[in-house]
Structure 1
Amino acid sequence: MLERRTKGGAKVTAEEADPDSHRWAHGWRRIMLATGMLIYPGLTALGVAHTASGAGAIAGYAIVAAFTGCYVITGVAVARGRSRHAELMAVVLAALFVAVLPFAHADAFFLGTGVVSFVSVLRPDWAARALAIGTLGAILLPWAVRPWHSGPGWFQALALLFTSLTVRAFSEIATTNRALVAARAEVARLASEAERNRIARDLHDLLGHSLTAITVKSRLAQRLAGKDAGQSLAEMAAVENLSRQALADVRAAVSGYREVTLAAELARGRELLRAAGVVADLPHATDSVAPANRELFGWVVREGLTNVVRHARANRCTVVVGDGSVEIRDDGRGTGPGAGDGKGLAGLRERVAAAGGSVEAGPLSPRGWRLRVTVPSDTRRHLRPPHDPVREGNP
C-alpha cells in the first residue's frame, strides 16, 4: 500500500490523503465489477443442472455454493489489502474449480474465470500464464474429454479471456490511480512545506530589519529625551510608523504579496544607519541596476544593513550597486553573532541561488565585513511570474 509520512513521522496512506480518489479505485466501481462476476457461479450451476442429476447434481451445487462463498471472502481480503489471505483463498477457489469439472463439464470454466481474475490481480507476473492456461483449457478440455460429448468451449473461453483482461485492466488503473494520489499528496506536502519556509524566511528578513530599526530609534529617542524633546518625539513617531509598516509587511508576507524594491531599501537603510550613528555611504540612484535584479538586491541590502547595525559595531558602511552585483562593506569588528552563519544569511543564500547567483561573505583586512552578491548578467529571471498582480498594481 502506498503511504507517506507526515512531518511528525506518522504514516498517512494515499487513500487517507485523498478520499475522493480512493473511492474511485475502491468504491462503487469495484463493487459493481465484483458483484457482476457472481453471474459466473450461476452459469456454472445451470451447467450442473444440464449435465448431472441426483447425488451428482447435489454435489455440484454444493461445490458452486462453496465457491461463491470463498469468492466473496477472497474479494473482501483483496479490498482490505490482505494479500496473503487472498492468495490462500485463491488456491481454495482453484481447487473448487477442479472439483466441479466432473459435474459441470465445460461450464465449470465459468468458475475458472474468477480464479484467473484473482490471479491476475494478486500475482501480475503470473497473469499471462494463468490467462493462457485458462483460455486453452476451456477450449481443449471439453473437446479432449470424450465422455462429455461436447466440442471446444469457445463461449467459456471467450468469457474467461475478456473478463480476466477487464479485471486486469481495472486493477492497473486502480494501481496507477493510487500512485497518482500518493504523488499528488506528496506534491501538496512539499508545496506546503515550501510555503512555510518562504513565510519563515520573509518574516525573519522583514521583522529582523524592522525590529532592529525600532530598537535603534527607541534608544536614540531615550538619549534625546533630556536634550531635545522635539527630536525625541520625532524619533518616537518614526518608531510608530515603523511598527505599522512591520505589521503591514507581515500581512503581505503571509499573503504572498510582499514586494521589496532596491530604492526603498536604500532609503530605509540610510535612515537606519543614521539612527544607529553609522556613516552611510549609499547610492542615491538605482538606474545602473538591471530591473530584473532590483528586487533581489533590495533583499540583499535589507539583510546586509540589518546585520551591520546589529552585529558590526561599525562607524561607516558603504553600499555599491551595479548591473549584476551589490556589495555591502563596513569597518566594524568583522565577527560576532550572526556574522556569516545566521538564519538571515542562509535565507539570503536561498534567494540568490534561486536567481542563479552567488553570495560571498567574510571579514575584511584589517577590520570590517563584506557581503557581495553577484548575478550573471545573462540570467533572465523573475522572482515573481511576469504577470504578477502586485507588479501590475492589482490587489
Structure 2
Amino acid sequence: MTRSNTDTQTGAGAARGSAGPAAERWAGMRAEMKRDGWSWPEDNLEPSTRAGRFVGTVVPALFLIYLTEPVRQVFGEPHPVAIRVLVPAVVVVYAVTYMYAMLAERKTSHLVRAVTFSVMTVCGLTIAAILGPDDLVYMTYAISMALVQLPPLVGLIFGVVVTAALLIGTTISDGTPNLGSASVLIVLTVALFGIRQVIRSNAELRAARDEIATLAVAEERARLARDLHDVLGHSLTTITVKAGLARRLLESSGSVTPAVAELRDVEHLSRTALAEVRATVSGYRKASLPAELVGARAALAAAEIEADLPHAVDNVPAQLQEPFAYVLREGVTNVIRHSGARSCSVRLGDSWIEIRDDGAAAGSPGVGHGLAGLTERLEQVGGSLEAGPCPEGGFRLRATVPAQVAVRR
C-alpha cells in the first residue's frame, strides 16, 4: 500500500471516528423519538382550574358549529328521507363523541380511547360517503381526537392519510383536487402534532423541575446531617473529656487553678461549637486543617492520649485541606470515644492522610454518619476512604486522593 493510500484511509477512519459519537447520539435521538411517538399519552397534566375547565369546554363546543353544514346540505338538496334521518343522527353521535373525548382528556383507558376514535372515524366517513369526498374535511374532529388522545404518530399518520384520501377522492369525482380543504386538514394535523409535542416537553420539564427540587431538599438535609455530626461530635467529645478532667482534678487534689483552666477551655469550646452550628446551618462553614491539628492536639492531651501529629500542612494542596480537616476531626474523635488507645499518630502526605492508634479494634468499622459523611466528602474530590484494624493491632483510618487531583494546587 502506498503512503498516499494509507493517508487517505487513515483520514477516512479518523473522520468516521469523529463522526461516530454524533451518529450514535443522532441514532439514540431517533430511537427515543420513535419510542415516544408510539407511546400513549398519559394524564400527567396539572389539575385544571375553573377557568381552564370553562375554556376546555367552550372552545371545543364552538367548533361544533361547522357540523351544521352537513345537515344543511341534506335538507338543502334533494335526498331520500332515510338520508335526511341518517345524516343528522350521525352528526349528533359525532358531536357527542367528540365532546366526550375532549372533556375526558386522558383519564380514560386505552381501550375506551380506541373505541371513541373508531366511532368518530366511522361517523366522519359515513358523512363523506353520503355527501361526497369534499366532506372528508369534517374528519378534522376525528383527527383532533387522535392527536390528543392516541400515540402521536398514529394521529399524524391518520391526518396525512385522510388528507391524501380527500385529494384523491375530489380528483376522481370533480376532476381537480380540493386543495383548500386539504390544506385545512394538513395544517390542523401538523399544528396539533407540534402543540402536542410542546405540551409533552413542558410536562417533562415540570417533572424534572419537581425532581430537582426534591433532590435539592434531600441533598441539603444530608449536608446538615453530615456537618452537624462532624461539628457536634468532635466538639461535644472534647467538652466531655475536658469536663471529666476538671472533675478529676477537683476530686483528686482539690486544686482549683488547673480545673478552672480546663473549664475555661470547655466554655471556649462551647462557644466555638455554637458558632460552628450557626455557620453550618447557614451553609458558610469551612473546616481548617491547621486549626483541626491544634484542636486534635488539645483534645488528645485532655484524654491523656499521647499525640504524634505533624507540625505543618504546607505539603497538602489547598483543595484537599478542607476534606482532610474533616477526616482528621472524625478520626481523632473516634480515637477518643471508642478506642481506649494510649497513643495516636497522624501522618500527612500531598494526597493522603492517615490516623492510627494502638487501641482495641473490634472487627470492621460501622457505617454511621461519620464515615458515611467522610466518604461523601472525599467523593467530591475523587478520593476514597479506608478504615479497619491494623495487622499489628490498633486501628487505621486513611483517606487517599488520586495524584492527578492532588497536583492541581
- How does the TM-score come out when normalised to structure 2? 0.78
Deviation at 1:33, TM superposition (A): 6.8
Distance 2:406 2:185 in 1: 60
Do structure 1's residue 197 and structure 2's residue 222 form an aligned pair? yes
Distance 1:175 1:36 in 2: 25
Unaligned runs of 5+ in 1: 1-12, 387-395
Does the CA-based 8 Å contact 1:300-1:348 persist in structure 2? yes
Which of 159, 176, 180 pairs up with 2:184?
Answer: 159
Residue 27 to residue 354, structure 1, CA distance change in 2 (3 Å): farther
Equivalent residue, structure 1, for 2:232: 207
Deviation at 1:343, TM superposition (A): 3.1
Alignment length (residue pairs): 361
Do structure 1's residue 254 and structure 2's residue 281 form an aligned pair? yes
Q: Identify the structure with bigger relative contact order (alpha carbons < 8 Å, sequence gap 6+).
A: 1
1:335 alignment partner AA:
A
Distance 2:216 2:255 in 1: 52
Equivalent residue, structure 1, for 2:209: 184
Residue 108 to residue 181, structure 1, CA distance change in 2 (3 Å): same
Which of 181, 195, 200 pairs up with 1:175?
Answer: 200
Which of 102, 107, 130 pairs up with 2:158?
Answer: 130
Does the CA-based 8 Å contact 1:106-1:153 persist in structure 2? no
Do structure 1's residue 267 and structure 2's residue 267 form an aligned pair? no
Do structure 1's residue 354 and structure 2's residue 380 form an aligned pair? yes
Which of 290, 293, 318 pairs up with 1:291?
Answer: 318
Distance 1:381 1:248 in 2: 33
Equivalent residue, structure 2, for 1:327: 354
Residue 224 to residue 31, structure 1, CA distance change in 2 (3 Å): farther
Trace 1:229-240 onto structure 2 (pairs within 5 A): 229-240=256-267
Q: Please, what is the CA RMSD of the aligned residues?
A: 3.1
Equivalent residue, structure 1, for 2:370: 344
Distance 1:191 1:316 in 2: 42
Unaligned runs of 5+ in 2: 1-42
Residue 174 to residue 373, structure 1, CA distance change in 2 (3 Å): same
Deviation at 1:371, TM superposition (A): 1.5
Distance 2:362 2:371 in 1: 14
Does the CA-based 8 Å contact 1:340-1:362 persist in structure 2? no
Trace 1:29-178 onto structure 2 (pairs within 5 A): 34=60, 37-38=63-64, 40-45=66-71, 47-48=73-74, 50-51=76-77, 55=81, 56-57=83-84, 59-101=86-128, 104-121=131-148, 122-145=150-173, 152-178=177-203
Distance 1:98 1:342 in 2: 70
Distance 2:331 2:401 in 1: 17
Equivalent residue, structure 2, for 1:389: none
